[in-house]
Structure 1
Amino acid sequence: MTDFRVPKLNNNDTTYVLVEWLAEDGQAVRDGDPIVLLETSKATEEVEAPRPGVLRRLLAEGAECEPGQVIARLLGPGDEATDEATDEAAGEAAGEAAGETAGEAAGKAPDEDPRRPDAPAPLAGGSDVVVTAPARELIEAHGIAMERVYALGRKVIRRTDVEELLAGGSTGADGNDRTAPDDAPAPAGADGDGDTEWITLSRAQQRTAEVVERSRREIPAAYTAMNVDVTEVLSLARDLTRRLRTLVGLPEMVVKAVGGLLDRFPMFFAEPAPGMRGSGMRARRAATADVGVTVDVGRGLFIPVVRDAGNRPLSEVAGDLVGFRKTALTGSFRERDLQGGAITLTLHTHDGIVFAVPIVFPGQTCALSLTAPRSEVVQDGSGFAVRKTATIGLAYDHRFINGRDAAEFLGELRAALESPARFLTENG
């Protein structure tokens, strides 16, 4: 018998939601079969069976779970004799996870549900609706009344269900039309004041808020910025876009250049050891330059990671970033796409932005920011010329990195970007 434990999916979350079991209780599953759907603040992830066996589920759908928690067991051929005892334990565990019986659930108010403090109100009969994070964001973006969502009669509401609802052709589980009229009144504010309009943060934005608060609270950050002449690198990027047949822009060039600095500046890619102070402070060296890059197409902020940016060719780095932008449009990132960044590049490429200070994410020692290129008139010999300039900023944990180190790091990055042909020849 093997305990099936919740894997660590997202460093920013301490709990996840068990959205749906993908295999029935008592079903024989194979190694690698998807058996459960878990929701974090950033994605909904299918988790696979680590070995073959007969599934015995220990946690109810809709319940919260923590990394490392046993939520199921996989029985082998010699474990059949314990099936009855396991079933009894499963029932008890599921009841404890739910925190109440069905009869009790019917009598509780929504804010008393211990499984999910932010869960929607229970349906008639005490059955809870589970709304995935992408679906909830779409609901909030369009101001859809939750009564319309409940009326779908579905146990799990996904983004596709909300899109169907917006299209006006939604039906409930019984096949009847469940679409509420467009002039249906919106629910009153949380305090009962119908005249007050409240903007509720999405679950993803709440997690972002927690990370920002933690960064400001725990990391004594400093900041240094440097202007870079990007005229030549932008010209080369346009040429490479045609030759490689994939989009190459300034962000792709910066990611590649940052990846080439790992050997000379290992502390900038290191992971601080937790809880260390004074003489006991240390940081774990990164084996590869895994660069997280912010992606925001209007559906929430994601930071997918370009793996080993220093040793992979620019075409692969560019391909990764193109793929990340496409995935962000559907909100279908996998947790593995978002894990393991050693350094973060935050993009502030809207026209007119000349200065941006990123936060240092917990678990990293620094973060870079990149602004949009802007035209500047510079002296050129006895005359003047118009050049393209961008600002690259570095926020850094001052406990691990000093100002001189930051200036040298930015100087090396600027040198690579201002001589891109030579840099790419040496680094692929």
Structure 2
Amino acid sequence: MATEIKVPALGESVTEGTIGEWLKQPGDTVAVDEPIVSLETDKVAVEVPSPVAGVVGELRAAVGDTVEVGAVIATVEDGVAAGEATKVEPREAPAPAPAAPESGDGAQTLSPAVRRAVLEHGVDPSTIKGSGKDGRLTKEDVVAAAKAKSASPAPAATAETSPAPAPAETGGARREERVKMTRMRQTIAKRLKGAQENAALLTTFNDVDMSAVIEAREKYKDLFAKKHDIRLGFMGFFAKASCLALKDVPSVNAYIEDDEIVYHDYVDISVAVSAPNGLVVPVIRDAQDKGFARIEKDIADFGKRAKDGTLTMDDMKGGTFTISNGGVFGSLMSTPIINPPQSAVLGLHRIEDRPVVRDGEIVIRPMMYIALSYDHRLIDGREAVTALKIIKEAIEDPTRMLIDL
């Protein structure tokens, strides 16, 4: 008996997705809840598991095909022994190239998390012995192999060793490669271009002395980690400082919908994090009611799941304000772009020692440039500058966050 594999519900208002990769091919055995296919939506990649154990039968869509929610995209033969299912290729479409084997003697495909780990650590999956079920390669296997590789000393040169031959001349040949944009990257491009076309974008800047926050982190980091089992980072400070600013300047936490302005009495902060397929913005719900530990845990969880590709549509739904930290990549200054329909985004940058004047003397302080990009249709310059100034003052004097000042 064949079980149909259908496109699951992908989130509110999402009616279709794109076949990103077939993780199983016709004739492959599959366990209950084992992923068969990766679907790309506008925001996330979703793995579709098999509801039964058996053998993959027919694939009814090819990589790159757009499929609607509820559509049958494959079948699984219940309880059929490996090799007994008829291999049916996707309809009149090139079959995807086989993935690299999971272990040196296997022919299983790599899961998305394992593929990402392989690319990140630059290891050859065919040289790693898998520790998972049926010898499948796991992410932990890849990480362990990478650590072992980096720990292995390079062979020492000897007097008898001949110098390596110079690389042969290539004749100046140049190559180019064309890669189809993923559905997520296409959506990102459309949304960002739409933000430029539909909003009156403007950016205001300020700089922040990070001395007080750095001192607080250094003083309490061990106690904080021991009590809450999470590292005390900078994002918690900026999230709480933003809540103060948005409370005092509500237009920065609002957005335009048709001919109305929608205000919010809560702060849902979208945090920009990097994922393998592009930038994603999961949301910290009700940040105004959360403490530092809960915010740091939310951010850490988002970062891990973005890297693993397990964020869901619900994780990124909504959001009233965005914080983007380009400083982790070394950015000194930038003009971040708003995340529609939101009206403002806070950009953070790298911290570096710079000379500043304090009490008439030139001193060295750890400084950071911060930027607030905003929709001038809704937010006046005075309001934007005021909001950024509140954030600056709260970071330079964290006590303000404790007494709501």
Q: TM-score normalised to the size of structure 2?
A: 0.63
Residue 409 of structure 1: how far off its partner (Å) = 0.8
Where does residue 394 of structure 2 map in the other structure? Answer: 416
Which whole-Å deviations, capped at 9, do the CAs of 1:308-359 have from their partners, x for residues lacking one? 1111111111111122222233222222222222111111114763211111
Map 1:71-90 onto structure 2 (within 5 A). Answer: 71=71
Is contact 1:365-1:396 (8 Å) kept? yes
2:206 partner SS: strand
Aligned-partner Cα distance in 2 for 1:47–1:223: 41
Aligned-partner Cα distance in 1 for 2:124–2:194: 37
Where does residue 393 of structure 1 map in the other structure? Answer: 371
Where does residue 270 of structure 1 map in the other structure? Answer: 254
Is contact 1:262-1:310 (8 Å) kept? no
Indicate how the Cα distance of structure 1 residues 218 and 14 shifts in structure 2: closer, same or farther if over 3 A, else same: farther
Is contact 1:260-1:309 (8 Å) kept? no
Identity of aligned residues (%): 23
Is contact 1:45-1:335 (8 Å) kept? no
Indicate how the Cα distance of structure 1 residues 10 and 45 shifts in structure 2: closer, same or farther if over 3 A, else same: farther
Is contact 1:299-1:329 (8 Å) kept? no
Aligned-partner Cα distance in 2 for 1:232–1:158: 42
Where does residue 168 of structure 1 map in the other structure? Answer: 126
Is 2:251 the partner of 1:260?
no
Map 1:288-303 onto structure 2 (within 5 A). Answer: 288-296=266-274, 300-303=278-281
Matched residue type, 1:244: F
Indicate how the Cα distance of structure 1 residues 409 and 323 shifts in structure 2: closer, same or farther if over 3 A, else same: same
Aligned-partner Cα distance in 2 for 1:409–1:163: 40
Indicate how the Cα distance of structure 1 residues 210 and 307 shifts in structure 2: closer, same or farther if over 3 A, else same: same
Is 2:285 the partner of 1:307?
yes
Which whole-Å deviations, capped at 9, do the CAs of 1:378-402 have from their partners, x for residues lacking one? 2233433211211111111111111
Indicate how the Cα distance of structure 1 residues 229 and 147 shifts in structure 2: closer, same or farther if over 3 A, else same: same
Matched residue type, 2:327: T
1:375 partner SS: strand
Is contact 2:348-2:370 (8 Å) kept? yes
Aligned-partner Cα distance in 2 for 1:326–1:202: 24
Residue 229 of structure 1: how far off its partner (Å) = 1.6
Aligned-partner Cα distance in 2 for 1:43–1:425: 39
1:384 partner SS: strand
Which whole-Å deviations, capped at 9, do the CAs of 1:31-70 have from their partners, x for residues lacking one? xxx9x9854244344799xxxxxxxxxx96666345xx66
User: Where do 5+ consecutive residues of structure 2 fail to align?
Assistant: 1-5, 23-34, 50-58, 73-86, 129-133, 135-172
Residue 225 of structure 1: how far off its partner (Å) = 0.8
Which whole-Å deviations, capped at 9, do the CAs of 1:73-117 have from their partners, x for residues lacking one? xxxxxxxxxxxxxxxxxxxxxxxxxxxxx99965x4x4xxxxxxx
Is contact 2:202-2:376 (8 Å) kept? yes
Indicate how the Cα distance of structure 1 residues 227 and 10 shifts in structure 2: closer, same or farther if over 3 A, else same: farther
Aligned-partner Cα distance in 2 for 1:104–1:351: 43
Where does residue 200 of structure 1 map in the other structure? Answer: 179
Aligned-partner Cα distance in 2 for 1:6–1:205: 22
Where does residue 64 of structure 1 map in the other structure? Answer: 66
Aligned-partner Cα distance in 2 for 1:324–1:8: 19
Aligned-partner Cα distance in 2 for 1:380–1:104: 72
Indicate how the Cα distance of structure 1 residues 293 and 10 shifts in structure 2: closer, same or farther if over 3 A, else same: farther
Where does residue 248 of structure 1 map in the other structure? Answer: 232
Where does residue 339 of structure 2 map in the other structure? Answer: 361
Which whole-Å deviations, capped at 9, do the CAs of 1:137-181 have from their partners, x for residues lacking one? xxxxxxxxx35569x9989974547878951179xxxx9xxxxxx
1:254 partner SS: helix
Aligned-partner Cα distance in 2 for 1:411–1:390: 13
Where does residue 15 of structure 1 map in the other structure? Answer: 16
Which whole-Å deviations, capped at 9, do the CAs of 1:197-223 have from their partners, x for residues lacking one? 215265133332222222222222111
Matched residue type, 1:15: E
Aligned-partner Cα distance in 1 for 2:329–2:7: 47
Is contact 1:299-1:328 (8 Å) kept? no
Where does residue 99 of structure 1 map in the other structure? Answer: none
Where does residue 234 of structure 1 map in the other structure? Answer: 214
Indicate how the Cα distance of structure 1 residues 148 and 154 shifts in structure 2: closer, same or farther if over 3 A, else same: closer
* Root mean square deviation, CA, Å: 4.2
Where does residue 320 of structure 1 map in the other structure? Answer: 298
Where does residue 126 of structure 1 map in the other structure? Answer: none
Matched residue type, 1:196: R
User: Where do 5+ consecutive residues of structure 1 fail to align?
Assistant: 21-33, 49-58, 73-101, 111-120, 123-128, 130-145, 176-193
Is contact 1:371-1:392 (8 Å) kept? yes
Map 1:108-119 onto structure 2 (within 5 A). Answer: 108=92, 110=93
Indicate how the Cα distance of structure 1 residues 210 and 290 shifts in structure 2: closer, same or farther if over 3 A, else same: same
Map 1:339-350 onto structure 2 (within 5 A). Answer: 339-350=317-328
